[in-house]
């Protein structure tokens, strides 16, 4: 429960930015006074709370940042319009009875039907390929 306006703003900000509070144990008496927030729980590990520094009554918080998560392969695909077969788009416009297909539908539902049909035609007529990133390229200063 939050009664202070500033505390409420902090909670709203963390929720809006999809941040997660990692520390769930008390760090001073019966209160959690230390914040350890992240948007990806899997990068913070081995959180330990205990002990104190010198004569402080705050508990020490130790944690590890897991950096070696491995490189994720990009799944980005690009459309190759040079090899596209645009005849399908022409057939889509000419053969689809749009008036009967969209009759009685609201604007939002009509747009969704058109968009789904358009994307299906795009998948069939425009080939896609994996986008090549920096993989395999040598940096200029290494040459």
Q: How many domains does the chain have?
A: 2
The DSSP symbol for 54 reads T
pLDDT score of 65 more than 70: yes
- What's the half-sphere exposure (Cβ side, CA atoms, 13 Å) at 100? 3
Q: Are residues 20 and 44 in the same domain?
A: yes
Q: Are residues 55 and 86 in the same domain?
A: no
Q: Are residues 81 and 57 in the same domain?
A: no
Q: Which residue has the higher pLDDT, 127 or 56?
A: 127
- The residue from 38, 65, 92 where one domain ends is 65
pLDDT per residue as tens digits for the range 89-129: 777 777 878 888 888 988 889 888 888 888 888 888 888 87
Q: Can you give the pTM of this predicted structure?
A: 0.39
Q: Which residue has the higher pLDDT, 108 or 23?
A: 108
Residue 116 lies in a domain: yes
Residue 136 lies in a domain: no
Cβ-contact 9, 17 below 8 angstroms: no
Taking residue 59's Cβ as centre, other Cβ atoms within 10 Å add up to 20
- The residue from 17, 32, 65 where one domain ends is 65
Residue 71 lies in a domain: no
Question: Taking residues 135-139, what's their average pLDDT?
Answer: 60
Residue 143 lies in a domain: no
Domain that holds residue 31: 5-65
């Amino acid at each position: 429960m939050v009664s202070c306006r500033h505390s409420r703003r902090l909670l709203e900000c963390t929720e809006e930015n999809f941040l997660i509070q990692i520390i769930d144990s008390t760090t001073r008496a019966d209160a959690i006074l230390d914040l350890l927030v992240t948007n990806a729980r899997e990068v913070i590990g081995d959180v330990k709370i205990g002990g104190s520094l010198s004569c402080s009554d705050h508990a020490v918080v130790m944690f590890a940042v897991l950096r070696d998560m491995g490189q994720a392969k990009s799944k980005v695909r690009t459309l190759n319009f040079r090899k596209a077969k645009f005849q399908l788009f022409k057939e889509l416009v000419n053969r689809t009875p749009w008036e009967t297909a969209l009759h009685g539908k609201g604007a939002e539902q009509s747009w969704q039907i058109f968009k789904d049909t358009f994307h299906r035609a795009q998948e069939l007529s425009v080939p896609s390929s994996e986008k090549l990133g920096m993989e395999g390229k040598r940096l200029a200063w290494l040459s």
